[in-house]
Amino acid sequence: MFGLFRHGWRHHRRLALFTRPAGITERFSAPQRIPIVSGPSLVRADVKLISGFMPAGALIPDRFHIPHLDPRTGRGYQRLPQGTRINELAVDLKKKRVDLPTSVLLNLRGRDAMRYVKEQFLDLEAISSDNAKFYVVDGQHRILALEKLIDEVDVEIWSRYQIPFTCMIGANEDEEMEQFYLVNSKAKSVRTDLAYELLYQRAQDPEVLASLVERGQDWQVYAQGIVKRLSEESPVWRGRIRFASMEKGDTVMPSASMVTSLKAVLSSSYFKALTDDQQLKIIDAYWRGIRGIFPEAFDEPSEFSLQKGIGVIVMHTLLMQVVEISRSQGLPLTEAETYTKVLRDALEKLQGEDSDGGTVVGIDFWRSAPRGAAGSYSSSAGRRVLIAKVQILLPKISIQ
């Protein structure tokens, strides 16, 4: 599905180079008044809330202040900005990949701040005369990305960029801090499985995929595509992978964990050179080959760890080594028997201790706790040890 995007997006993407729109010749001049909509009181009765749109040049560079936390004085509350986020957002804005539809949250401090609000307007001239500042409560990366574009790309055009804003009038620093905490602690992030699915859908636009390639994140799209096809086409994985908004049912493996486990595989130079169909056939054959060694573990997957997080991560980490061994022996990579042959001795000899300290070998190693041993390797360090144990047991490659 993504062959066209992977191998040919440079030829098919629309050029999104930044150009000055026709008709903009005069220098930007910040307006003296900003139309606003008044909202209800916030925090306390005398702190009003207003909303509107403000050209970036009316805020940048000298009308805003970000109250970063100073550990020496205990003043401020904002974390320091992340340069990577600022740069990525600036690039995306410049190339017209994104817009900024959500409001930044600002505040004008001071008990007399309401004097800057005159009927349905915000008096920027009076704010400038008093050298007052808009304190940035939420949205610093958006504002700093626009500042970067104004400073480094085109001051006239990016000064005109309309920023949606909500502004408190008269809140103090403690009240700003409370709103900052509420905004950043109560918002629930998107679940990883849903994020991968949304990214997969968005990446069908070559522009989106191009931005992911630039950031080294395109593997997530390809991995999501493979996982979706495995769940539909692989006899080993059909009905076993749980995607976003699915009930657990008979599934045993979350799609997000399955996607993440494929990162090393899809980052290998050999796999990158394959088509989507070839990649799918190899991964499917690999798992069918493992099932050929331990069919019981796949008949009752909930009773074993092979199709759960620890098993999937370990086996996918080993996949490219197993592929290289198979290639060195001249074995076909899309046949299950290849992987049964290469892996059998290692998996049947693999041993560890169950919860009672008894030795378990082969299929019993992969039983769920307390009868098996695989669960004791579930930490990052444990997985590295388990991968090394299997690697030692794998056949060696002979160089002619």
Could you say which of 167, 186, 205 is where a domain stops? 186
Q: Do both 351 and 223 map to the same domain? A: yes
Torsion of CA 196, 198, 204, 208, to 10 degrees: -90
Q: Which helix (H) or strand (E) holds 195?
A: helix 192-202
What are the DSSP calls for 20-38, one per residue? PPTT--SPP---SEEEEEE
Could you say which of 131, 152, 186 is where a domain stops? 186
Whether residue 159 is contained in a domain is answered as yes
Task: Give me the domain span that covers residue 262.
Answer: 192-393
Q: Do both 61 and 131 map to the same domain? A: yes
- d(Cα 284, Cα 293) in Å, to the nearest integer? 15
Encode pLDDT of 9-58 as tens digits: 333 333 333 444 444 556 888 888 999 898 777 666 678 899 999 999 99
The closest alpha carbon to 75, from 183, 148, 169, 176, belongs to 176
Q: Do both 93 and 216 map to the same domain? A: no
| pLDDT at residue number 11 | 31
Whether residue 182 is contained in a domain is answered as yes
Q: Do both 292 and 271 map to the same domain? A: yes
Q: Do both 129 and 211 map to the same domain? A: no
Residue 56 tokens, joined? 């970036």
Q: Do both 172 and 227 map to the same domain? A: no
Range with lowest mean pLDDT among 29-33, 161-165, 296-300, 335-339:
29-33
- Domains held by the chain: number: 2
Could you say which of 144, 163, 186 is where a domain stops? 186
Q: Do both 137 and 251 map to the same domain? A: no
Q: Do both 172 and 213 map to the same domain? A: no
Whether residue 26 is contained in a domain is answered as no
Whether residue 47 is contained in a domain is answered as yes
Q: Do both 170 and 106 map to the same domain? A: yes
Q: Average pLDDT of the chain?
A: 88
Whether residue 21 is contained in a domain is answered as no
Whether residue 339 is contained in a domain is answered as yes
DSSP code for 109: -
Q: Do both 61 and 125 map to the same domain? A: yes
Q: Which residue has the tokens 């964990």?
A: 257
Q: Do both 114 and 251 map to the same domain? A: no
Encode pLDDT of 307-340 as tens digits: 999 999 999 999 999 999 999 999 999 999 999 9
Q: Do both 106 and 210 map to the same domain? A: no
